[in-house]
Each structure stands twice: as structure tokens, then as C-alpha cells.
Structure 1
């Protein structure tokens, strides 16, 4: 199991970097290991960088790192961590899947940072395992891999699989591993070096709470927004939202106008459109399926709302030419079946 006391030190860890990997997740994973070595006075960990073809890889911030070699050079490691980031579905290479499955058969602990869970899932390595992924990618991951148990935790360790949501959550993943392997006292000293005021466990939230995100603390307004976020696929009516929060519809309207300068309907629509944009960019779902997943009664209505909000159509969002295949932008959007239409969309 990943996190168990290693049989020998230094514990050798291979990081496989994919194009546009998240630099903050990558460095947040390595730095606790470096500081643990320094504070303990021992070589507890060593880390080694690889890429699928052995060539330098640029992170999403444009900084390129030079690996030690390609995948075939990454031998003799008990732990392998896949590092990815933006547009992971566009940079996955199939030889990586075969290599990951090969090292899995050898008993290697395999994990990921940020969107790397998408790579492991595509390789079939998360079947029957609990995992997590960055909150921005979670809806698309759930659509692409409905059979996989994905959570919104900071990190997950499930036997020989481990996944991390990315960002600074990688610090907490490694601090927890250091604590399990070499004691809480060392982990606390490492955290103190980073001015990391506490070691978060996996159950801590990935995102800031609604009050911090919105700059609003009105309890009933926050309750309504929470209901909205939990019901994007099947939107609730204004009356239902008001009733859930113990408000009249007029009070609901006033609260949204006062604190968020827009109507409840407009705010709800923006939530659904932002989710739609993530699904368009991160999945291969059809426009009709995206519309349905975000609570629209028809793809043509979805397209119009999308264009009004973002300034371009869903097809343009994906970089699809306007008249590709002789189909016009308007002709591309068929009405959804009557059975799938829902009120309030």
C-alpha cells in the first residue's frame, strides 16, 4: 500500500510529466520530500523525472523541465506518479497506458497529481478504486467514467493507487505520507518550514466555502446557491428554491439583486453555462448531451444562451469550423426529445 513504511531508503519515486502539467502540484509534491530529507538528516526520499519520449516537457506556465529519460528508462521504482494538468485528454499517449499496465503487474504503487487521474482511468487502472481529481475536472471525469468512484476529497489513497486533486493539496498528500512513514513530528516540522499552518487530511474541502468565494454571508442566500449548485442537471424553479430556504419569491429576488446584482434566474443560468463550458472542453460529449447535462430543454436554446454569455457558440468553443461538413451552426442543434425536457430550463 502506498504510504506504508518503505523497506529501504531512500524511497525512489518516479514522476512522469505530461505536456502542460501543473507546476504547482508537481513542486508541492517534491518539496516536502526534499525538506523531510534535510530535517531528518537522512536520504529518506529520492525523486526522478521522466517523460513519455524522454524529451523536455513544458508545464502549463511555460517552464520546461528536462527528464532523465523516457518511460523505458523508468525502471526499478516502487512508486510512479503521473503529473498532468490542462487539457489532459488532448495529451494522453497510448504507449503510456501500456507502460502503466506493465508496471502495475509488477506491483508498483501508481498515483497521479491534478488531472492525472484521467490518465489512470483511461488506462483502466482505477477500476474498483476510489479516486479524486481537481474540482474543475470532476464533472467531466464523472461523465467519462461513470463506473469509477470519484470523490471531491483533497487526495485519496486506496491500496496501491493514490490520486491528488492538485495545487497545494499535493503538499498535504506528501505530509500525510511522511507522517505515516516517519512520524507526525517530522511531518509537522516540514509543514512548519512551508508556513503551512496545519496538515489537512483528505476530507478537507478542495474549494473555499461559499462565503469566501462570493464575499457573501447571508445564510439563506447561501443556502439557495448551494441548492442551485447541487441541481444543475435538473434545475429547480424559483418557487422551489424560495421554499427550500424559507423565503418568498419576492424576498429571494431582493436578496440576489442586493448581494449579487442579478436575478436568481440569471445567476442559475450562469452556473449551468459555466458547467457546460467545462464539459465541452474536457469531454467528447455531444452538444445535445452537454445541454441535457446542464438542464436545458433544447440544444438550440442552449446554443443561444451560450453565445449570448460567452460570445461564441458551443461548437466554436471546441474550435469546430462553423460550416464543417456542410452543417450550419443553427442546423447543428436539434431539439431534445420531449421526454427529456424539464420545467425551469
Structure 2
């Protein structure tokens, strides 16, 4: 355990068993470890599958039921995933009260979503000392339920800024997954699998966790401290550490763009050296790359949020909506208003300007 984060489990039967305080090892918990997944309409099927499948595979390799799970929702019936598929779920209020771990799985949902049944259940579980968790944007719902206090958590990077601004007492990390004070959170997607593999290592040892990972051709289990934006290196095929540092500084300073000279200084090179690095590896001037990075972030916000254009422009470092719109059209060949009409609905499909589906 380091800074509230579970470290990479090593191989061996004792590996990983001291990683998450409050969660058992098999010697202390011979009964099946019970997980209740609470599904919120618009949840990610990928994230749910990545969380459940390691448990299923662990049972297969153990030759017995070491892990059990149930699916719950605000109301009994079918919960709809973001891809439009429905999954049968039981009532959240009466399901999983004695679960060892209750995990909220949520991805795309309205900004004003209220889940009184879920919130009451989470508060009750916390008052009983039960472990709770969230995958993807479910962390936002944990915060709204008032069960996080000043915890260290993670959330999908698209929602990180909103979570931190709405709940400044939280420590919102860009880790793949983390644990703090009995709260487990994963950023979503494949990070859910790494979190559950680490959980298996905690309970049944690192050997089983690695065997489960091999079942899914997963490779090494990623440590919690890996960041969500590790893709910078492979996304842009960057080989020079100084250039990678410069790009990371740009990514962290979107709303208040930093001077290229300052970025070069922080990366440990001269401004001219930085320019040569960008041209050699990215075929772009630093200033042009920085602008494209800000505009890509704006496009992601347009597609993933309902924030007004003026706010998105400000968050991406543009002093006026007009300047933003002109720059955006040059970059993408269409105005931001047209991109906004393609915003994805929580239940799959595309949101039209009038709120309907095509």
C-alpha cells in the first residue's frame, strides 16, 4: 500500500493479501465473497463485463464458488446499458444488504440524476462498515450520496474535472483504480478488470489473479497507480521523455494555456530544442500541437457533456466563443454546434438538436 493505492501484486500464494485493509483474505473468509453491482441506466457494458468476468473465471479455476454476484437497480426490472442492450436486475433496496462489496456501475447519465433508493442504500452500507465502490462515473453518484467525505478516488477522465469542482474536499486522482477507507473506485473500461484482479489477489493470492488474467489474454496486472493518460506515449508514438513531459504539461494546462517557453524550461530543454523535438517526432510546431490538443479536448466535451459552448471554450483556454468556433471549424471542418448535435444519448444512439433520436 502506498499513498492509499494498491500496488502491483507479485506472483506467489501470499501476494496481494495485505493490499486492501478492510477486505478479507480467504483464510478469514471461507464463504463466497459477495459482490452486488448496482446498475444505473446508461452504464457501460464493457465496464460491467470487465468487473464480473474475472470473478467467473476465478470460480472456474478454483473449482468452486469463491465469488458470487448479483445485479441490482433503482427499480427491479431491466437496466439499459449505454449500447442499448438491457440486463435483468433486481431491486437495489432489497438486494445485496449483506454483500461484502457493493459497486455502483454508471457511465452516461443525466447531470441532475437523482437515485434516492441507491443513495439511502449506500449510506446504510457505510454506516454498517461495508465496503462500497464505483466503476467509471459511478464515483460521482457516491459523492452525491455523501459517502466519500475526503476520500481519494478516481473516475473516468471525462468527469474528473466536474467531480473535483463539485466536491473540492475529495482527492480526485487520474489513477486507473484506487482504494481509500473502504471505498474502491475504478476509472471504467478495462481498469475495472485490473481492479477486480487485484481484489482476487487480495483474497486468494497473486497466483490465482495472474491465472485469471491469462484467461483473458490480459498480460501483467496493471498497478493502481498507472494513470489513465498513459496512452500519451503510444497514442502519439513519443519516444523522447522530454517531449512526453512537454505534452503532459500541455494536457494539464488546457484552460489556462502555458507559454511554450515555460513548457520548454519545465521539460529541461530550450525553446528551440523543444521545437526540434516536436518537428522530429510529431511533425508539428509546439504551438500548433497545443492548439490541436485543446480543440480535441473541446470536441470530447461537446460529445460527452451538456455544458454550454461558452463554458467549453473557457475550459479549453479560449477567451471568446467566437475565437473558439473559428478555430474549431478550421480543425474539424464543422462548427461546434454541429458536433453538439451528435452528442451520444445515455441509452445509445445519437442525440439530435431537438433531443430526439434519428
Equivalent residue in structure 2 for 1:180, among 194, 199, 202? 202
Hey, what does 1:342 align to over in structure 2?
none
Q: Matches of 1:247 and 1:131 in 2, distance apart?
A: 34
Q: Which residue of 2 aligns with 1:305?
A: 327
Q: Which residue of 1 aligns with 2:41?
A: 19
Q: Number of residue pairs matched?
A: 321
- Could you tell me how far 1:65 is from its partner in structure 2? 1.0
TM-score, length basis structure 2: 0.77
| Match of residue 156 from structure 2 | 134
Quick check: 1:93 aligned with 2:115? yes
Q: 85, 104, 107: which is aligned to 2:129? A: 107
CA contact (8 A) 1:239 1:249 kept: yes
User: Could you tell me which of 112, 118, 121 is aligned with 2:140?
Assistant: 118
The answer to whether 1:71 aligns with 2:92 is: yes
Root mean square deviation of aligned Cα: 3.1
Q: Structure 1: state its 5+ residue gaps.
A: 323-345
The structure 2 residue matched to 1:4, chosen from 13, 18, 24, is 24
**Offset, 1:248:** 5.7
Contact map agreement 2:302 2:339 (CA 8 A) in 1: no
**Contact 1:144-1:283 within 8 A present in 2 as well:** no
Taking the aligned partners of 2:202 and 2:352, their CA distance within structure 1 comes to 53
Query: Which residue number corresponds to residue 228 of structure 1?
Result: 250
Q: What is the CA distance between 1:24 and its match in structure 2?
A: 1.7
2:340 match: 317
Secondary structure of 2:71's counterpart equals strand
Deviation at 1:9, TM superposition (A): 1.3
1:154 is the counterpart of 2:199: no
**CA shift in 2, pair 1:43/1:243, >3 Å:** closer
For 1:329, the equivalent position in structure 2 comes to none
Moved over 6 A (4+): 318-322
Q: Which has the larger radius of gyration?
A: 1
Q: Which residue, out of 185, 194, 217, partners 1:163?
A: 185
**SS of match in other structure, 1:128:** coil
Query: Shift of residue 17 of structure 1?
Result: 0.9
Determine if contact 2:175/2:224 at 8 Å carries over to the other structure: yes
Shift of 1:300: 4.0
1:52 is aligned to: 74
Q: Does residue 1:239 correspond to 2:248, yes or no?
A: no
Deviation of the 1:74 alpha carbon: 0.9
SS at match of 1:89: coil
Relative CO higher for 1 or 2, CA cutoff 8 Å, sep ≥ 6?
2
| Post-superposition offset of 1:121 | 1.1
